[in-house]
Amino acid sequence: MGDANAFRNAAANGQVGIDPDAAHTVLNKIRTGKDAVEALLNGSGALAQPPKLGNNPVGNAMAAKFVQRADGGGDSYSAALQNLLGQYQAAEEGIVQAMARYHEMDQSAADPFRKA
74 falls within a domain? yes
Domain count, the chain: 1
Would you say residue 23 lies in a domain?
no
Task: Specify if 103 maps to a domain.
Answer: yes
pTM confidence score: 0.71
Residue 1 counted as domain residue: no
pLDDT digits (tens, 9 = 90+) for 68-102: 776 666 677 888 888 999 999 999 999 999 888 88
**In whole angstroms, what is the distance from residue 59 CA to residue 7 CA?**
46
Does residue 57 belong to any structural domain of this protein? no
The answer to the question of residue 88 being in a domain is yes
Where does 1-116 have alpha helices with state H?
2-12, 20-43, 57-71, 77-114
2 is a domain residue: no
Q: Which domain holds residue 97?
A: 69-110
Residues 6+ apart with CB under 8 A from 24: none
What are the pLDDT digits (tens) for 24-76?
A: 999 999 999 999 999 988 887 777 777 777 888 888 788 777 777 766 666 77
Q: Are 1 and 94 in contact (CB under 8 A)?
A: no
- Tell me whether residue 63 is in a domain: no
